[in-house]
Chains A and B, each alone.
Chain A
Amino acid sequence: MKGEGFLTKNISNFTHTLESVILTEDLCHAPGLLQSLDSRVKVVTFVLFIVTVGLARSLAILGTIFVLILIFSFLSKVSLRFFLKRVLLFIPIFTAVIALPALFITPGEPLIAVAGKLIITEQGARTAVLLFLRVVDSLSFGMLLILTTPWTSILVALRWFRIPSLLVDILGMTYRYIFLLLHTANSMFLARRSRTIGTLSSGENRRWLAIALATTMAKSQHLSEEVYLAMLSRGYQGEVRVLNDLRLKRRDFLWVAFALLAAFILLWGNSL
C-alpha cells in the first residue's frame, strides 16, 4: 500500500534513530580498550588513522588497517556482527555499486573478460577495490569513535581543540533537541497512520508532509524562545561556562605513541 509505505518508512526511520542512541549509550561505558582512552586522544589519533587511510596507495596497507580495526573493536567489546552490520550496511554497499562501472571504463591493461565483450582492466579492478577499502576503513574508524565515546566527551574534546565555544554549545544543544523533535515528528506520523484507512495519494502525502514539517518548524521556533528565557533565568549572560576535568593517563600516551608508529609504518609501505 503506497500510502502506508510512506508513513511507515518514515516512522521506522525515526524509531531506528531514537533506539540506536540507547544502544550506543551502553556500549560507551563498557570496560573495553577504546572506552578507557581520553576522548581528545581518540579524536586526534582516529583522524590520524583516517588520514593514513587516505594516503595509503596499496590494497595490502588498507587490508592491514582493516584487520587492525577488527582487533580494536574486539578489544573494545564490540560484537563483530553488530560492528560489521553497522559499517558495511549502506555506504560501502552503495560505494560498491557506484564503483562497478569503473571496472570496465577505467583505461588500462585488460585483466579479464566478462560475458564475452566486457573487459575489466587491471587499473579498473584496483581502483574499485581501493575505493571500497578506503571507504570501509574510514567509516569503521568513525563508527568506533562513536560507539566507544560518550558524545558529551566528544564535545569536551572539541572545546579543548579550541573550536569556538559558541559552536560547541550549539552542537550540544542541537543534539539534545534532535531527539525531542524526532519524537514529536514521530508522534505526528503515528497519529496520522492510525487514522489512515487505505492508501493515500502521493500528493496527499506530500501535502501532509509539508504540514508536519511546518508544524515542527513552528515548534522549534517556540522552543528556541522559551529555552532562551530558561537560560537567562539560570544566569546565562552570553557565554556558557563549563566544568573541564579531563585528565590524561599513561595509557593515553602509550596509545598516541602506538598510533604514530603504526601510521609511520603503514605509510612507509607506500614506497614498497
Chain B
Amino acid sequence: MHIPDGYLSPATCGSMYAVAVPFWYLAVNRVRKVLTNRTVPVLALFAAFSFVLMMFNVPLPGGTTGHAVGGTLLAIVLGPWAAVLGVSVVLGIQALFFGDGGLLTFGANCFNMAIVLPLVGYFIYKVIASNSEATSPRRLLAAVAGSYLAIVAASFAAGLELGIQPTLFHAADGTPLYAPYGLNVALPAMLIGHLLIAGPVEAVVTGGVFAYLQRSHSSLIKADAPRKKEGKLWLLWGALGLLAFATPLGLLASGTAWGEWGVDELKNMGLGFIPQGLEKLAGWWPAPLPDYGFPRMGAVIGYILSAVVGIALVAFLLWMLGRWLSRKSLAKQESSAKEASIE
C-alpha cells in the first residue's frame, strides 16, 4: 500500500503531512509519558522488528502471497501510540534509506498505515476483546478481526487519496495530472484487493503471531479492559474520523446539501418571499470562509480544506472540553483521596 511519489499532487501531499503532524505530536507525548527513558531502545527494536515483518513474503491458501504491515499487532503489544510511531519510523526508513515509498507521499503513507491502521485495529481489538483473559480465543479473534478491518480501513483511506486526484488536479483538456482513476475506480480497486488478499495476509500474520504469543510469551499481552471513559472517547474520535473520511464523498454528490441553502438558492427555488430574518442574518455574519470556499482557489480544494479546518476546530474544542472535564474529575479524585488516605 506504499504510494510512490508522483501519484499524489504536491498539494495533497502537503495536506496529508498537515493531518499527520498532530497525530505524531500526540504519539510522541503519549509514548514518552509511558516509556520515559526507555522510549528510544524499545521503539527502535520494535520498529526494526516491524521492518523485518513487512519483508516476509506470506503464503495464502490458494497460492497467492502478500506482505503484511503488522500495525495492529504492534498496537496490541506496545499500545496504539507506540505503534503509530513505530510504523512511521519503519515507513521513514523504507522511504529514506531504501527508496520504497515516496518522500512527498510519506505523510499520506503514514496517515494510512501508521495512523489509521493501528488506531482502527486497536480500537476494534479492544472492543471485541474487552476484558477477556490474555490467552482466551476471544482475544485471538479480536486480534484477527481488528487487523483485517484495520488494513481495509487503511486501504479505503489510500483509495480516497488516489481517487480524488483526477477531479481536483487535471489539465484544461481533462487529462488527469496524477493518479488517473477517479473514486469510482480507485476505491473499489483498493478495497477489493485488500478485502481479498492483503487483508487475509494481515489477519494470518497477526493471528499467527498473536496465537503463538498467547502460548509462549503471554506476558507480552496486557489483558486489562478498556476504561469506560476511554471507550466512550474512542467512540467519539472514531465517529469524527468516519465523518472526516466521508467528506470527500460529498464530491460525488452533486447539488447543495439539504437545508444548507443560501438566500440566492431560496429565491431560485421559487420561494419568492425570503424569510425576513434570514435576509437580515445573511449579511451579518461574514463567515471567514464564505460558501465553504477559500478565496481564489479551486472550489473543490476549498471544499476539502474547509472540511479539514472545520473538523480540526471541532476536534480542538472537544479536546479542550475533555481536558477541562478531566481536570475537574481529577481534582475531585484528589480531594476524595486526601480524605481517604492511609499513612
Contact = CB atoms under 8 A, between A and B. Distances in A.
Interface of A: 6, 9-10, 13-14, 17, 46-47, 50-51, 53-55, 57, 86, 91, 95, 99, 101-102, 105-109, 122-124, 126-128, 130-131, 134-135, 137-139, 142-143, 146, 151, 154, 164, 166-167, 169-171, 173-178, 180-182, 185, 202-203, 205-207, 209-211, 213-214, 216-218, 220-221, 223-225, 227-228, 231-232, 236-238, 240
A181 B49 contact: yes
A265 B205 CA distance: 50
Contact of B211 (A54, A210, A216): A210
B181 A102 contact: yes
Contacts of B59: 6, 202, 205-206, 209
Given A13-B57, A138-B4, A209-B208, A143 B99 contact: yes
Contacts of A177: 44-45, 48
B41 A227 contact: yes
Interface of B: 4-7, 9-10, 13, 28, 32, 36-49, 51-53, 55-61, 63, 65, 77, 85, 89-90, 92-93, 95-99, 102-104, 171, 173-181, 185, 204-205, 208-209, 211-213, 216-217, 220
A138 B77 contact: no
A137 B180 contact: no
B171 A142 contact: no
Contacts of B9: 54
A44 to B, nearest CB: 12
A178 B48 contact: yes
A106 B176 contact: yes
Contacts of A173: 40-41, 44-45
A253 B69 CA distance: 41
Contacts of B5: 50, 53-54, 134-135, 138-139, 142
A134 B63 CA distance: 34
Nearest to B5: A138
Contacts of B185: 105
Contacts of B205: 209-210, 213
A101 B38 CA distance: 50
